[in-house]
Structure 1
Amino acid sequence: MDTDAEVITYERRARVARLINRGQSKLVLALDRDLEPFGVTAAQYAILSTLWGGRGDTAAQLCKEISYSPGAMTRMLDRLEQKLLIRRLPHPDSRRSHKLELSEEGRQLFPELLATSAAIINRFLGDFDSADLSRFEALLERMLARE
């Protein structure tokens, strides 16, 4: 870095990056704490939410949607299947893949998980108005599009 302006710009950007990381960490900790009575972690909730919302139905799609490695995803899916919250079904187009869906137990439990998650998100973002949320979302999407 050659100039004071570049150093200042870097420091401000690094501070924003640290704040994003802290925000994400605090959100995950709050989710873990409040979802514990249901026997579900924040990471497991992310998978259940993705299945519930129809944003993926294979392990590969879930990995892409929530940025997990294939190995970590397999372990998470195994745990969710053991808890009887998801089902693996034969994939109609591939013998090497499975379609995933919420089990009956998962479908019954998910509304409570969603309500718990919504309460946490409201604690974090509750005083942001619609314009704040739109701007924040746009900035984050712009940041993520650079990768």
Structure 2
Amino acid sequence: MNSEVLAFGTPRESLGILLGLVRSEVVRAMESELAARGLNLSFTQFLIIKRLSRLGPMSATELARSVELDGGAMTRQLDQLESKGYLRRCRHEQDRRALRIELTEAGSTLWQQLTDCNERVLSAAQRSLDDTEQAQLHDYLERVLHALRDKN
């Protein structure tokens, strides 16, 4: 890969830029997959559906935190997904004042369709790596994440 094209010296010196570029390409590829399927979904909306599918119902605050959105942006995304019939806001079972966000049947069905898109993009992102390298990459990124989250 030509480092001049990426506008930095070496990948070792520019981990943040490299991670940002990888994320941008994953977002671009995923949105391309969604568009090819004729789905009017943004990458953020895809992430919201993915989180709800994998983690189950949760509060809007928990969901916003998990996809790194502020409250206002989350409300707009939830409104759009709710108007498309993919999720609903329900009263919390133990606290009537609180709302839980959950997928509808249409949202769960949509996630089943999106799983293929997700796997295709992630496989393409790793196609130049063998199985051992993929496992190492995952391990390295997990360790970097843990180091950044460790407050000590």
TM-score under structure 2 normalisation? Answer: 0.80
**1:38 aligns to what SS in structure 2?**
coil
Q: Which residue of 1 aligns with 2:102?
A: 101
Q: Point out the more displaced range, 22-31 or 56-65.
A: 56-65
1:17–1:104 CA distance, 2 compared to 1 (3 A): same
CA-atom RMSD in angstroms: 2.1
Alignment match, 2:89: 88
Q: Aligned pair in 2 of structure 1 residues 22, 93: CA closer, same or farther (>3 Å)?
A: same
Letter of the 2:21 counterpart = R
Gap runs ≥5 in structure 1: 1-9
Instruction: State the distance in 2 between where 1:71 and 1:93 align.
Output: 25
What per-residue deviation string (whole Å, max 9, x for no partner) do you get for residues 77-112 of structure 1?
A: 111001110111111233442111111111122111
Alpha-carbon contact 2:85-2:107 (below 8 Å) kept: yes
The residue that corresponds to 1:34 in the other structure is 33
1:55 is displaced (CA, Å) by 5.8
Question: How many angstroms apart in 2 are the aligned matches of 1:79 and 1:40?
Answer: 9
Alpha-carbon distance in 2 for matches of 1:14, 1:96:
49
The residue aligned with 1:7 is none
Post-superposition CA distance 1:21-43 (Å, at most 9, x none): 10100110111122121111111
Residue of structure 1 equivalent to 2:141 = 140
Number of aligned residue pairs: give it: 138
| Unpaired segments ≥5 residues, structure 2 | 1-8
- Partner letter of residue 132 of structure 2? A
Give the TM-score normalised by structure 1. 0.82
- 1:53 corresponds to: 54
Distance 1:55 1:104 in 2: 13
